[in-house]
Structure formats: C-alpha cells, structure tokens
Chain A
Amino acid sequence: MNIASRFQTPPEDGEPVQFTFDGELVTAPIGTSLAAALLSHSGDASRETATGAGRSAFCMMGVCFDCLVEVDGTPNTQACMTLVRDGMVVKRQIGLRGLTGGNDV
C-alpha cells in the first residue's frame, strides 16, 4: 500500500542514511528519529495492534507506544526514541510480540 505522507522531511545538514522498512529502502538525514523518518516516508500505519488496528507514531516523545516497530530483530521498539542508522532493518510490529522475541511475520 502506498499512502502519501502528510509530513515532510526538513532540509538537514546531516548526511543521508539508509535503512529498510519491511524490505523497502528508506532514506533519512542522520540525527532523525526513526518515527519521523517513517512518518515522512509514508502515511501508512507502521504497526498493527493486537486486534489488527493500524497505528502510527503519535506523541513523538516516548509516552504513547503507538510507534512500536521491530528494529534489527528486537520487537516493540519505540521508533520515536530511536535514531536512524545506516543499514537498520526495520519491520512493522504486527500484533503483540512473542515471549522469545521476534515477530509474527
């Protein structure tokens, strides 16, 4: 799905870094939070709740837990509290995490 984002990445001095989001290559300036990078990348939901509802980053300050994604194999990572890094492997968080880590997908 490709939903246009209502957010824009401001021009930054930082070097661009690249990471993948569910396999798709995303570029963002260094120093950007992963949540901001995902919001400007797409208007699509970045996670699904336990009941299958779509969610994206909301509070941007570590409180609401709506920006959860899997980062380099670690589930339920708060994207707003994580800076983008080159080569990061990011996946949508689908439902609750399992006890032993990893994800449904």
Chain B
Amino acid sequence: MSAKHSEITIIGGGVVGLSVAMGLLQAGRRVCVLDGADSDARASQGNFGLVWGQGKGWNFAPYAKWTGEALAAWPEFSAKLTDLSGIDVALDQSGGFEFFTDADEMDEFAGMLAGQQSHIGNRFSHEVLSADDLHRQIDGIGEDVVGATFSKFDGHVNPLRFLRALRLSVQALGGTVKTNAQVTSVDPVTNGGFDLTLANGDTFGAEKVLLCAGLGAMKLAADLGFRTKIRPQRGELLITEKLRDRLPFISSTIRQVDEGGVQIGGTKADAGMDDSETLDVMAGLARHAVQVFPALADVRVIRAWGALRVMSPDGYPVYAQSNEHLGAYLVTCHSGVTLASLHASVLTDWIEDTSAAPDLEAFDEHRFTLSNAA
C-alpha cells in the first residue's frame, strides 16, 4: 500500500467533509480529506452559522426528525470540538425567532411549524407570538413587526471559528487534510477501491470515496453514476461593525456573533455560479434589519458578500451509496452546520453499515428517480 493510499478519502474539506471525517476518525478509520482550490465555490466560508430547526421538514417527516436529532446532539459535539481543537465555537442554543412584517406570511409559516411539530412531537417546540407578546418580551423590536415564531431549540455558532475548529479536530484525530487538492477524476479499480487524479497530476488511491464537495461534487457525482442534480442558490449577507451591546435575540436573518458583529442575511436567488452581491438585495436586507430592530439603523455595514448554497432538487440532504461502484458515497446537504453533529457521529455507522446505523433510506437519491418517473 503506497503512502498515497488511504482507507477512506473524502473529497471536500468544508463543513460537511470535515464533519464526516471527524466521525470516521473517531471510529478508528484512516482518513484523508482532499480540499479544493481557493477559487472553488466554498459554501462553508460564506455560511451563516445557524444551528436551526424551524421550518425544516415541515412536509417531510424524515428531515424534521433528522434535524431534531442534530439539534439535540450539538452540545456534545461542540464540547468535543473544544476538546480536540482548543477552540470554543460559541454555541448558543438559547432559542431563535423568525420575525414577520406580513401577517399572511406569518400565518403560513405558523402552519408549517404545526406540521413540523406533528412529525416529531417533543423534539421540536414552537411558539407563535403576536406583536404584543413580542414587544413585551423584547425591547426595541420595530413597530412594523406583526409577530414572530420562536423555537427554544434553535441557535447558532461562530461560523468561521467552527470551520477552523473542525479542521483542527480532524488533524488532532490523526486525519490528513490536503489543501489545493482539486480532484479531476475518480476511477473505480477492477478489484475494488478507487484511483483519484488531482488537477496537479498527482494520483491517489482509496478503498472508499466520499463525495462531500458541495457544488464541486456535481461532475464527479455524475461520473460515479449518482443521479442527484445539485444546484447553487445564492444568498447575500451583510456584516456590521462589532458592537459592545448584545442583541436581545437570535433570528435566522439577524444574528450577532460572540465577537460583536451582526450578520444580516437570508436572501435566495437563482444566479448560477455567480456569487457576487447586488445593491438592491443588500438594500433590502438593511431595510429588513432596521424594520425588525430600528436601533440597527445607526450601525455601519462594513462587509457584504454573496455565497452559494448547495441545494439538492428538493432541498433535503442526500446520503447515497453508489449501486454501480461499491465504496463510493455521496453526502450533500444545505444545512451542513446544523447537521454537522450527526455527520460527525451516527453518519459513521451508516457509512460503516453497523447495526447502529440510522435509517437514511428516505434520503437516498432514488427519490429523485421516482419523482422523475411520476
């Protein structure tokens, strides 16, 4: 076995790939993570850091359950990250709000949360707050806000420290992370395993290959016979100067990291691989933030950027094993931060096919074949 041969090679060194690597390393596997080039679309570097359940899987019970389990597993996962990396990712699961300025939109979302609740019972909890309730609970909420939903299980982490903590944890567990390692082809070997070729011409052998490369997985996934079509969805976000005061809430569109800066985001657009920011969308974000919390009007925005979400056709995660090439796996999802706690733990049992493996049948990619046929 050559030095360039690993038991398990993970293609993709973002939040998903590193989380999966952490789990496999803890199970005693030898793991090598191949991280792409700086110029690649890196969802993990643009992410918002939400550890969030509200609305997820409201009409797809398996995703509601999986998300509920992920939220419950976060405290232990966060502690492990700190142990391994020495970094506190500032997990705060004190509950999160969705604010509304349109009563119809709020009613619709409240209906979705009721659906989510019906799927998973006490793993999820939500409240629907009227404007009066909300203004009594939180000082400084704007008059245009007609109400909010709240879940006590929602929260966030510091997104950049989280990515760094993951990487250091993988290394602390003995994993290898190769940077600037763009995989151009994955070739199944006749008697099992795979040969990988990198853009710089290096080759690499592996018994198992996990595709966790987000948008970068599109071509390789098709080459390995996976059917999932992954598409980019652009989100834009604003970063404010750091504030000494703490915002009195966490919401999915306005949140303050522990260092003091406020992130404002949540937009969705289909713009292909164009991750540039746009003035009208940024202005809309600023308007939303000031509507929700007028004191932000005086706060400076110091950075803004666009980033590309990784979306499957139905928005739910894909956990699939290749039928054609034993040992090739596709792991892709939008909510890589929220689900990281499971990717770094029980997903290992699914990859290893142990008796403790979670039932992930609902997340197999055959669901796309079925819907195509219908």
Q: How many whole Å from B158's CB to the nearest CB in chain A?
A: 15
Contacts of B245 in A (CB 8 A): 98-100
Chain B residues within 8 Å of A76, by CB: 241, 300
Bound Cα distance A103, B2 (Å): 61
User: Of B242, B296, B298, which contacts A96 at CB under 8 A?
Assistant: B242
User: Per a CB cutoff under 8 Å, which of A95, A97, A100, A104 touches B241?
Assistant: A97
Cα separation A65 to B302 with both chains bound (whole Å): 10
**Chain A interfacial residues counted at CB < 8 A:** 11
Report how far A104 CA is from B296 CA in the complex, Å: 18
For the complex formed, measure the closest distance between the CB of B249 and the CB atoms of chain A, giving whole angstroms.
13
B260 within 8 Å of A (CB atoms): yes
Q: Does B160 belong to the interface (CB within 8 Å)?
A: no
Determine the chain A residues whose CB is within 8 A of the CB of B302 once the complex forms.
65
Answer yes or no: B326 CB below 8 A from chain A CBs.
Answer: no
A87 within 8 A of B: no
In the complex, how many angstroms separate the beta carbon of B98 from the nearest chain A beta carbon?
Answer: 22
Interface centre among B242, B295, B296 (most CB of A within 10 A): B242
Q: Is A50 an interface residue (CB 8 A)?
A: yes
Q: Which residue of B lies closest to A77 (CB)?
A: B300
Interface 0/1 of A63-105, CB less than 8 Å to B? 0010000000000100000000000000000011111110010
Nearest Cβ in chain B — how far from A92, in angstroms?
15
Chain A residues in 8 Å Cβ range of B242 = 50, 96-97
Evaluate whether A101 and B298 lie within 8 angstroms (CB atoms) in the complex, with A50-B242, A95-B244, A96-B243 already known: yes
The residue in chain B whose Cβ has the minimal distance to the Cβ of A94 is B244
Specify the chain A residue showing the minimal Cβ separation from B300: A76
Query: B261: nearest residue on chain A (CB-CB)?
Result: A96
CB B293 to nearest CB in A, in angstroms, measures 9
Least CB distance from A77 to B in Å reads 9
Contact B260 A99 (CB under 8 A): no
For B341-373 the 0/1 string (1 means CB < 8 A from A) is 000000000000000000000000000000000
In whole angstroms, how far apart are the Cα atoms of A50 and B299 in the complex?
17
A-B CB contact pairs (8 Å), 25 listed:
A50-B242, A50-B244, A50-B260, A65-B302, A76-B241, A95-B244, A96-B243, A96-B244, A97-B241, A97-B242, A97-B243, A97-B244, A98-B243, A98-B244, A98-B245, A99-B243, A99-B244, A99-B245, A99-B247, A99-B295, A99-B296, A100-B245, A100-B298, A101-B298, A104-B244
Instruction: List chain B positions with a Cβ less than 8 A from chain A.
Output: 241-245, 247, 260, 295-296, 298-300, 302
Question: B-contacting residues of A (Cβ < 8 Å)?
Answer: 50, 65, 76, 95-101, 104
